[in-house]
Chains A and B, each alone.
Chain A
Amino acid sequence: MSGHVQVVLHRTARAQDGVAFSLAVPSDLSFVGDAVDLAARHCDVGVLSQRRLQFNLRTALAEALANAIAYGNHHDPSRLVRIEVACRPDAVRIEVADDGLGFDPSQVPDPTAPERLEREGGRGLFVLRHLVDTIEFNERGNKLCLVLRAG
Chain B
Amino acid sequence: MTILTKELTDRARQALGMPDCQYAEIRISSGISTIISLSGDEIESMSSGESMGGSVRVLAKGAWGFVSFNDFNEMEWSARRARELALAVTAREKSSVTRSNPRIQEFATDVKRDFADVPLEEKYLLIKKYNDILKSSRKIQTTRALYRDLQSEYAYLNSEGVDFRYRKSFSGVSLTSIARDGAAIQPFHESIAGYGGFEIVQGHEATAEFVAKTATDLLDAGTPEGGKYRIIADQKLAGVFIHEAFGHLSEADFVHENKPMRDIMVIGKSFGPPELNVIDDGTLRDHTGYIPFDDEGTTPSQTFLIREGVLSGRLHSRETAAKMNEPATGNARAISVFTQPIVRMTNTYIGNGPHTRGELFGSMDDGIYAIDVIGGQTNLEMFTFTCGYGYEIKGGKKGRMFKDIVLSGNVFTTMKNIMMIGDDGKMFGGLGGCGKGGQSPLPVSFGGPHIMIKDVLIGGKE
Q: Do A and B bind each other?
A: no
